[in-house]
C-alpha cells in the first residue's frame, strides 16, 4: 500500500485509475507533471475547456442569486462565442426545473470500506417531499449515451455519496435510492437533459463496484499500477512521451468521436486562480 492514509477518492482520480492505473500512479502518487498537449489543436481544446469552466462559474453565480441580466452581460462579453448560446439555453430551460432548496457547488463526503470518498455537485436540489436531484452541467460537444453515463465513475460515485450523506440534507432522515435522480444537462442540447433514476439495484451494484475499486487502489503496490493496453487512450494523455507511447497528440475530432470527456472544470481550471466576478 503506497497511498497516504488520508487519501481521498474522487471521480477524477478514480476515472484516471480506470482509464490507466499508471496514469493514476504518475499523477497522484508521484505527482509528475509532464508538459504534453492532450490533443493536437491545443488552443481550440484548451479554449473549449476554459469556456466550460467560465460557463460553470456563470451558472454558479446565477444560482447563488446574481441577476440573469448581469450574467447575460458577462455571457455576451465572453470570448468564446458558443457560451452565449449555452447561457441562453440554460436560462430558457433549466430554471423552471429548480423547485426546492438549492445547494450550489456542494461537496459531500462518505466512507466506503474504510476509504474516504468526495463528490462535488454542480447543484443539489432538495425537494419538499425529500427527493434529491443532482444536476451536472456539461459543455462537451456531444452528449454521452445513457448507457455510457450509467457506467461512468461520476454517476456511480455521486449517487452513492449523496445517498449516504442524505441524512445531513433531510433532517436526519435517510433517503431511499428511488428518491435520488441525476440529471446531466448538456449546454449543446439544452432541451433534452439525460435523467438517470436511482434504484436499490443500482446502489447495490455501484457499491460493490466502487468498494472493489477503492480497495484495489488503496492496497496496490508500485508494480500494480500497470500501463493501459488501450493505446487510443495514450494519444490523449499528457504522459505519452514519458511512457514512450508516441509524441503526437490525437485530434480533437477523434477525441469527440471516441466520446472521451475532459470537461470537468476543476481539472482544467483552478477556480482560485480566476479573478472574482464583480457585481
Ligand atoms: S501514456 Fe498511456 S500508459 Fe502512459 S500514463 Fe498515459 S494512458 Fe497510461
Query: Is residue 135 in contact with ligand 1, taking CB distance under 6 Å?
Result: no
**CATH code of the domain made up of 8-217+227-269:** 3.90.320
Q: Where are the domains of the chain?
A: 8-217+227-269
Tally of CA atoms within 13 A in the half-sphere of 106 that contains its CB: 24
Task: Provide the grid cell at 257.
Answer: 468521436
pLDDT average, residue stretch 256-260: 59
Neighbours of 74 (CB within 10 A): 17
Q: What is the pLDDT of residues 147-201, one digit of tens each?
A: 999 999 999 999 999 999 999 999 999 999 999 999 999 999 999 999 999 999 9
93 lines ligand 1 (CB under 6 A): no
- Kindly report the number of other CB atoms within 10 A of residue 148's CB atom: 13
Determine whether the shortest distance from the Cβ of 22 to ligand 1 is under 6 A.
yes
Output the pLDDT for position 251. Answer: 64
Query: Is there an atom of ligand 1 within 6 Å of 238 CB?
Result: no
Q: Is 235 in the pocket of ligand 1 (CB under 6 A)?
A: no
User: Of ligand 1's atoms, which has the minimum distance to the CA of residue 227?
Assistant: 3
Express each pLDDT in 28-77 by its tens digit.
999 988 766 655 666 666 777 889 999 999 999 999 999 999 999 999 99
Q: State whether the beta carbon of 210 lies less than 6 angstroms from ligand 1.
A: no
Residue in 238, 243, 248, 260 to alter for ligand 1 test, most ligand atoms within 8 A of Cβ: 243
228 lines ligand 1 (CB under 6 A): yes
Residues 206-251 pLDDT 10s: 999 999 999 999 999 999 999 999 888 888 788 888 888 766 666 6
74, three cell numbers: 458577462
Residues 6+ apart with CB under 8 A from 109: 8, 116, 117, 118, 119, 161, 165
Q: How far is the CA of 19 from the centre of ligand 1 (A)?
A: 9
Per-residue pLDDT band at 259 (split at 50, 70, 90): low
> Of 104, 114, 119, which is closest to residue 14 (Cα–Cα)?
119
Distance of alpha carbon 83 from alpha carbon 74, whole angstroms = 10
pLDDT at 255: 63
**pLDDT tens across 97-144, in order?**
999 999 999 999 999 999 999 999 999 999 989 999 999 999 988 888
168 phi and psi angles, rounded to 5 deg: -70, -30
Residue with CA at minimum distance from ligand 1 atom 3 = 227
Amino acid at each position: 500500500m503506497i497511498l497516504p492514509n488520508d487519501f481521498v477518492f474522487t471521480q477524477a482520480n478514480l476515472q484516471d485509475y480506470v482509464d490507466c492505473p499508471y496514469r493514476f500512479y504518475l499523477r497522484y502518487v508521484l505527482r509528475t507533471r509532464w508538459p504534453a498537449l492532450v490533443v493536437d489543436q491545443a488552443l481550440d481544446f484548451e479554449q473549449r475547456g476554459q469556456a466550460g469552466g467560465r460557463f460553470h462559474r456563470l451558472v454558479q453565480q446565477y444560482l447563488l442569486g446574481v441577476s440573469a441580466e448581469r450574467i447575460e452581460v458577462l455571457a455576451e462579453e465572453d470570448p468564446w462565442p458558443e457560451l452565449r448560446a449555452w447561457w441562453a439555453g440554460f436560462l430558457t430551460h433549466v430554471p423552471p426545473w429548480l423547485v426546492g432548496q438549492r445547494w450550489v457547488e456542494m461537496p459531500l463526503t462518505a466512507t466506503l470500506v474504510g476509504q474516504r470518498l468526495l463528490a462535488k455537485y454542480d447543484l443539489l436540489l432538495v425537494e419538499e417531499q425529500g427527493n434529491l436531484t443532482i444536476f451536472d452541467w456539461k459543455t462537451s460537444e456531444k452528449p454521452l449515451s445513457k448507457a455510457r453515463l450509467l457506467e461512468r465513475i461520476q454517476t456511480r460515485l455521486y449517487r452513492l455519496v449523496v445517498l449516504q450523506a442524505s441524512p445531513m440534507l433531510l433532517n436526519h432522515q435517510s433517503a431511499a435510492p428511488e428518491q435520488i435522480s441525476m440529471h446531466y444537462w448538456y449546454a449543446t442540447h439544452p432541451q433534452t437533459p439525460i435523467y438517470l433514476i436511482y434504484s436499490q439495484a443500482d446502489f447495490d451494484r455501484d457499491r460493490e463496484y466502487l468498494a472493489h475499486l477503492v480497495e484495489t487502489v488503496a492496497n496496490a503496490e508500485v508494480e500494480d499500477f500497470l500501463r493501459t493496453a488501450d493505446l487510443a487512450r495514450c494519444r490523449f494523455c499528457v504522459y505519452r512521451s514519458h511512457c514512450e507511447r508516441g509524441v503526437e497528440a490525437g485530434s480533437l475530432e477523434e477525441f469527440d468521436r471516441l466520446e472521451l470527456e475532459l470537461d470537468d472544470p476543476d481539472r482544467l481550471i483552478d477556480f482560485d486562480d480566476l479573478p472574482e466576478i464583480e457585481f
